Every structure is written in structure tokens, then in C-alpha cells.
Amino acid sequence: MSKNPFSLSFGRKPFEYIDRFSDEQRIFDTFTEMPVTDQVFVIMGVRGTGKTVAMTEITDRIGELDDWIVLKISPLDDITDALFKMLYNNRKVHKICLDARIDFSFLGVNVSVENKDIGYNLNDMINQILEQLQKKNIKVLVAIDEVTNTPQMQRFASAFQLFITDNRPLYFLATGLYDEIESLRNVHNLTFLYRAPRVNLSPLNLGAIADKYKRVFDISTQESVEMARETKGYSFAFQTLGYVTWEHKGEEILSTDIISEYDQRLSEASYSKLWSELSETDKKVCRVIARDEGGHVSDFREKLDMDTNYFNQYRRRLKAQGLIDTSTYGCISFTLPRFAHFILTETY
């Protein structure tokens, strides 16, 4: 292979890809197996965990089923308007509508269906279409990547809530950052989102990462395991370390030059943006943890001069954001590789 098989692009499925079988299968089964228990699922995780790629894997699988229609809508669009137009312009749906003598063609492709002069309610028109699809046992999946708490997202979420109340065959799969999802879930009257199941993407399997590195670079098991551990299972780090190592062919595995460029690319492409989105107190807590990663909670509290309740607020928040690991009782470390190094060397 002459071309670098690793990718630094977000959202695009790389050539060297590791499946998330359990997370993806859980969502696929929830939507496709009877009886249906949930019609919405949210994939969460920090930037670079592979949310978009996981969504694509799921939507591609569902899109191959004959009784499903998958619609991918941008969060920047007028989502409800886009849903109507994409539904009505779908060949299968259009024929079903015409057979049922439902015709909205007079609106025109580029005419806003929310124009009050038309005299039609957008949600009612979507509901009419979904009613006909329901009779044909056809289901619709709306997929939105990186949702944010915007007016158009709120309008869609409110409409979606009405549709599922009427038992319409409409499903919703979203990806997003913790803060954005929490902001949207707490909007008044969007209670279905508050109860919606969520998947916090777990780290990639280190054994699978090591196997990939061993095969691609033709290195020993020990060397491949060392490389895998250096990624901590962070999807973007797996790609980045592989990419940098490929570009430094002939050098010792995890050489000083490789680690230096690895740090730089993680910082520029992921960590700097992630850091800018934290609150000042979040940053203060992270700095203390970085100085003694893996240290004890009581020591961190003492250095921050925080009582237990106050400190626990930020510990829970950073854990929910996917930044810290509290699996070792009483201790805290970062989930992201070399994040402590980033904090200590580049944020002062």
C-alpha cells in the first residue's frame, strides 16, 4: 500500500476503520425489531469519538431495508420544511401520495410550505404523508448530525413529538455534544427528548487497534500494543497516530518526532476547540487533574478549595462530557490521550 490508509478528516469513514458493533447494533435493533420501544436515539461523545461515522453506519444499514426511508437533514436547514420536501419528492412516497389522492405539487419545489397565504399547516401535511406510509408499513428515519439548540431544531422536535403521539412511523437519530443535547432536552414541552435513550460512545477496543497497527506497519505485538495504549481508544487519536506513523516510515515506533507531531495534530484538530468550549471553572478543575492525573479526588478538592458537593458538580459534568474517567474508585484520569500534556504545555 503506497497511500496513507489513515485519515485526519472528521465525519468521513476512513479506510482503516474499527466497528462499534455493540453500540451500533443496539440502535439498529431498537428501531427495527418489534415491538418498537423507542423512536428516537441520541449518539453522544466528545469531538473525534466517531459519532458521525457511527451514525452513517447505522443509517446505511437501515437504508438497505425495503420498508425504510432514510432522510439525512442538515441542522442548519429549516428541518420541518426539509422533511416535508424530501418526503414528498421521494419517488416511492410521491406515488403513494398520488394513489391516495394527496397532491401538494401546486406548492412547487422551491415554495415555502409555511407561507400563510397557502392556507396549509406544514405539520398536517407531513402527518397526512406519514399516515399513508403507515398503511403501507413503511417507516421513515430522520438523521441529523451535530444537533444544536436552535429555533428550527426546537420546531422539529415539537412536531416530532406530535407525530409519535399519533403513532406515526417516524424515527429520529441524532448526534451531538453533551452541552448541546442537554440544552435541547431542557426546552419546555420537549419531554420526549428528556426520556430519549442515549449512547455515549465508548472507547475503541485496544486489541482491535493493536491488530490494525500490527498489520499495517508489520511490527511486533509489543510495539502495536504500545501504540494502541497511546490512543486510549479515542477514535481520532487512533487515526492520527496511524497517520503520523505512516508519514514517518522508517523511524522507531513512538519516536520523539512521531509523538511531537501526534501532540500537535491532536491539539490543532481537536483539543484546542474542545478546550475553548469549556467553562473557566471546568478548565480550572482540568488543570489541577492534569498536574496529578490518576490522583485522588480528595487531593483535587483540597487543591481547588472546593467542598464535596461543589466539586462533584464538575466531576459529574466532565464525566458526562466524556473527558474524565472515574472507573478507578476515588481517582480521576482523562479519557483522551495526552490531554494532560496538552493542558500543561499549551494552555498557559
Model pLDDT, residue 263: 97
Q: Is pLDDT larger for residue 200 or for residue 113?
A: 200
- Which runs of consecutive H residues, i.e. helices, occur in 169-205? 178-185, 191-195
CATH number for the domain running over 21-200: 3.40.50.300
Three-state secondary structure call for residue 279: coil
Using the predicted structure, report yes or no on whether residue 80 has a pLDDT greater than 50.
yes
Pick the closest to residue 344 from 277, 292, 278, 268 (CA basis): 292
pLDDT in tens, 89-134: 899 998 888 888 876 655 554 334 444 344 458 898 899 999 999 9
- CA 204 – CA 212 distance, rounded (Å): 12
Q: What is the pTM of this model?
A: 0.87
Which segments of the chain belong to CATH 1.10.10.10? 278-346
pLDDT in tens, 251-268: 999 999 999 999 999 999
Q: What single DSSP character describes residue 105? A: G
Model pLDDT, residue 117: 42
- Which runs of consecutive H residues, i.e. helices, occur in 6-100? 21-32, 51-63, 79-89, 91-99
Q: Predicted confidence band at 8 (pLDDT cuts at 50, 70, 90)?
A: confident
Pick the closest to residue 346 from 291, 269, 264 (CA basis): 264
C-alpha grid cell, residue 67 = 420498508
Pick the closest to residue 24 from 8, 10, 15, 13 (CA basis): 13
Class for domain 278-346, per CATH?
mainly alpha
Q: Predicted confidence band at 337 (pLDDT cuts at 50, 70, 90)?
A: very high
Model pLDDT, residue 286: 97
Q: What single DSSP character describes residue 205? A: P
- CA 56 – CA 35 distance, rounded (Å): 24
- The overall average pLDDT reported for the chain is 90
Model pLDDT, residue 316: 94
Which segments of the chain belong to CATH 3.40.50.300? 21-200
Model pLDDT, residue 110: 39
Three-state secondary structure call for residue 37: coil
Q: Is pLDDT larger for residue 11 or for residue 239?
A: 239
- CA 211 – CA 207 distance, rounded (Å): 6
Q: pLDDT over 90 for what percent of the chain?
A: 70
Q: pLDDT over 70 for what percent of the chain?
A: 93
Q: Predicted confidence band at 184 (pLDDT cuts at 50, 70, 90)?
A: confident
Using the predicted structure, report yes or no on whether residue 16 has a pLDDT greater than 90.
no
Cα dist from 260 to 77, 222, 321, whole Å: 40, 21, 26
